[in-house]
Structure 1
Amino acid sequence: MTGASPSQAPMPTGNPRLEGLTDYPFTRLAALLAGVPPRANLEPLSLAVGEPQHAPPALLTEALQANARLWGRYPPVAGTPEFRAAVGDWLERRYALPPGFVDRETGILPVAGTREALFQLPLLTVPERRAGRRPAVLIPDPFYAVYEGAAAMAGAEPVFLPAFADTGFLPDLDAIPAEVLERTALFFLCTPANPQGAVADLDYLRRALALARAYGFVLAVDECYAEIWDRAAPPGALEAARETGSTAGLVVLHSLSKRSSAAGLRSGFIAGDPGLLQRFARLRSYSCAGTPLPALAAATALWRDEAHVEENRRLYRAKVDAADSVLAGRFGFYRPPGGFFLWLDVGDGEAAARTLWREAAIRVLPGAYLSRSDADGGNRGRPYVRVALVHDAETVARACERIARLLG
């Protein structure tokens, strides 16, 4: 028997699709600030990560403790009837859906936070070829990095749709070329948008759904910020589907991370087209361990309670008020209609991030890390920083005062 010696054996090359991705935004931020000491007399403050700092409601802990006996059981991929019923009831209340519009048995699945489901959706929906060409996945720009990573790892071409001030911070649906639409397998749409806070109105959602059905691709609407809003509750894609009498070609995703300040619970759901969800459940049977039963019990309780959500929303509104009182008229500040991010035009996001860390011990995320550079190196997110209003209103006010002072 002959063969190469260990020293001559070829090294594993890995998946080239992974190598084609840029570093994750927070990895890039850590590299940017490496070697930059923060202001020594100030306690470091992170406004870079959208991690809620409110205390989770007590009923979460109570439900976990009451169901502690279930930690020893494997959870089913489909979750529990109680969880699906709570989600179905919530969807009907929140979006004025007719009873049973989203079927509790076939139209709802629990997920381990929306990130897990978002990453798996291209694995479900992207074929080898579409219209004889490489499939496309449509992604708003700026974007949640998982959209790009998921599309690329599934073998699709991520096609970035500008969503800046000139388009109302949402993609211009009329500007998507027909040749792109013909090979599109999936469209990720986020409303309220991260990071801009823009909300797609019902007419926009109708048009997006009609486009998906006309060209035969899946519309996946990431609504994880839908319960954090300033003046009016954002409409949902299921409301647009309700008018057609069908959820065909549509899935929506929601999470308790923001709504209930329960990021560590890793609990959300995907709902919509029963045919898609049946295939998704099959995929997840291979790829997912399922949400633990005590966590599902806690999530069930949280989806049935609105009092803590209203209080959460009040607290975020107070933070936007605090930012407004300091930043109004500066850096293109506007009150985000939804979500808890500020998208500030500071001229050079990376330079601003370094200055704020060095002079004020504040971390913010450069907008270029949430936007895709073009072939010439231009990046429309470069002038911006994203600021997460996750701390209490007093802390937010102090931070905004430092930002205004240092960046002019």
Structure 2
Amino acid sequence: MTEEQIPVPYCGDPPMTAARLVQRDPEGGFPALFADRRVFWSFNTRVAIRAACDLLGLQAGDEVLAPAYNCGSEVDPLINAGLAVRLYPVEKDLRADPAGIEPLITSRTRAIYVTHYFGMIQPELAALRVLCDRRGLRLIEDCALSLLSGANPAEGRTGDVAVFCFYKFVPVLQGGALVVNAPDLAAYTPFSQPAPRKTVAKTLVRAGLANVLGPARAQGIMRALRRPQPADAPDPADTDQLEDMPGHYYFDPALRGTRISAFAARPLQAFSVQGAIAARRANWQEYRDLLDGMADVRLLMPDLTPETCPLNMPVMVAGRDRVARALQARGISVTPWWAGFNRNLDWHGQTGAIALKDGVLSLPLHQFLGTAHLHHIVGQLRQVLSSA
């Protein structure tokens, strides 16, 4: 089933198709974003983050300051490397504030980890670079959610290293990248192991189901095989009772050093970068108009700068997990964004980030959705909220 054949009621993720193994975008597709840069292609972003720890010379016991608003999966490779991860606060404005980060630096601190959320480039990124240079720290730039943002898409030029993710933006089998910016860092290839065969095979089976049965039916089958979603999270004030993040979010040491699969590397050449940016920005604007003034919905990113390519449409809603389950049951691939907490982190005092992790609902706006899909999604959201 092609994107054009997806019926309007289905508002899920676009399927992988075999045709993309041979298709080529005239402008080079996504790999062209990294022309003339020191880039290494990893099986996924977590593998790239783990390799970055070694490349930066970080040692067990070294401290890394990371944002409290995190998925948990991106910091787990740091923990796997033996690093002490200390959280810095992130509130609902999503800013990594140098003034709030600097007092947390200790004699053990060796790096600062910064995340660009939902496609929005951190406004204080230059100031963070200055802070790191002044204090002799490395800067790790997480561009997994901002691949297509910036004056030159695939920015990630400020950190000593930057990591990227592809499957969040196009339907490919995993795929990540590690870009090395600091001239003093070695340029050896950190991904010498082949992509894991079992993981590749499982993903291809899921893709085959989507193509044979249709995306909606395949999604229903896969959801039925998963464990049930947890109920709404406990009181954010009680950090000892926070729900653990899904088990597959934790870093698998067996993946360390694995390179990108051919089922990601080749299809990446088939997708139009500019087409994706234009469609995502147009879908965001459509959502903005449809959600304007809707009761019980707060836009987490109320404005879109000219250089922002949104990953999704994040909104804050009460009873987020209930709303997500209800919409998923109606065939809409919303996500209770970053639900669950990495059990190896100290969450005490991070009330702002906890509120975000418990309240953000991600609405899909990828380039394979059209206006009719967005109207359907918002209509269903309105119904679910009114039935609370």
Please give the range of the TM-score, normalised by the shorter of the 2 chains. 0.5 to 0.7
Residue of 326, 329, 345 corresponding to 2:316: 345
Pairing 1:147-186 to 2, within 5 Å after superposition: 147-165=74-92, 168-186=93-111
Distance 1:323 1:384 in 2: 16
Aligned partner of 1:253 in structure 2 is 163
Aligned partner of 1:319 in structure 2 is 283
Distance 1:256 1:367 in 2: 18
1:227-277 Cα distance to aligned partner (Å, 9 max, x none): 545x97679342x5xxxxxxxx70123344355x25226253423225434
- Letter of the aligned partner of 1:185 in structure 2? R
Residue of 355, 364, 367 corresponding to 1:388: 364
Residue of 166, 180, 187 corresponding to 1:271: 180
Are residues 365 and 275 of structure 1, via their aligned partners in 2, closer, same or farther at CA, if it must alter by over 3 Å?
Answer: same
Distance 1:293 1:351 in 2: 38
Are residues 208 and 234 of structure 1, via their aligned partners in 2, closer, same or farther at CA, if it must alter by over 3 Å?
Answer: farther
Distance 2:347 2:382 in 1: 30
What fraction of aligned residue pairs are identical, expressed as a percent? 15
Pairing 1:197-212 to 2, within 5 Å after superposition: 197-201=119-123, 204-212=124-132
Distance 1:298 1:235 in 2: 18
8 Å Cα contact 1:223-1:253 kept in structure 2: yes
Unpaired runs of 5+ in structure 1? Answer: 1-41, 64-82, 93-99, 130-134, 241-248
8 Å Cα contact 1:109-1:277 kept in structure 2: no
Q: CA deviation at 1:111?
A: 2.3
Aligned partner of 1:309 in structure 2 is 273
- Letter of the aligned partner of 1:257 in structure 2? Y
Aligned partner of 1:402 in structure 2 is 380
8 Å Cα contact 2:161-2:178 kept in structure 1: no
Question: Aligned pairs, how many?
Answer: 298
1:61 aligns with 2:28: no
Rg larger for: 1
Q: Give the secondary structure class of the aligned counterpart of 2:363.
A: strand
1:65-117 Cα distance to aligned partner (Å, 9 max, x none): xxxxxxxxxxxxxxxxxx9xx96x7457xxxxxxx7x5xxxx33232343320
1:160-200 Cα distance to aligned partner (Å, 9 max, x none): 233333xx312111102434354223332222x14xx4322
Pairing 1:223-262 to 2, within 5 Å after superposition: 223-229=143-149, 236-238=155-157, 240=158, 250-258=160-168, 261-262=170-171
1:365 aligns with 2:329: no
Distance 1:340 1:364 in 2: 13
Q: CA deviation at 1:335?
A: 4.6
Are residues 284 and 277 of structure 1, via their aligned partners in 2, closer, same or farther at CA, if it must alter by over 3 Å?
Answer: farther
- Letter of the aligned partner of 2:130 in structure 1? A
TM-score, normalised relative to structure 2? 0.62
Unpaired runs of 5+ in structure 2? Answer: 1-7, 194-255
Q: CA deviation at 1:346?
A: 0.8
Are residues 141 and 263 of structure 1, via their aligned partners in 2, closer, same or farther at CA, if it must alter by over 3 Å?
Answer: farther
Distance 1:285 1:60 in 2: 23
Distance 2:263 2:327 in 1: 42
Q: Give the secondary structure class of the aligned counterpart of 2:187.
A: helix
Distance 2:17 2:181 in 1: 28
Distance 2:303 2:380 in 1: 19
TM-score, normalised relative to structure 1? 0.60
* The structure with more helix, counted as a fraction of residues: 1
RMSD: 4.0
Distance 1:179 1:313 in 2: 37
Distance 1:380 1:162 in 2: 12
- Letter of the aligned partner of 2:86 in structure 1? V
8 Å Cα contact 1:139-1:148 kept in structure 2: yes
Q: Give the secondary structure class of the aligned counterpart of 1:171.
A: coil
1:268-324 Cα distance to aligned partner (Å, 9 max, x none): 342322543436x3x54474344467975665x56xx8xx11111222223223322
Aligned partner of 1:112 in structure 2 is 43
Q: CA deviation at 1:353?
A: 2.4
Distance 1:402 1:285 in 2: 46
Distance 1:374 1:294 in 2: 37
8 Å Cα contact 2:163-2:176 kept in structure 1: no
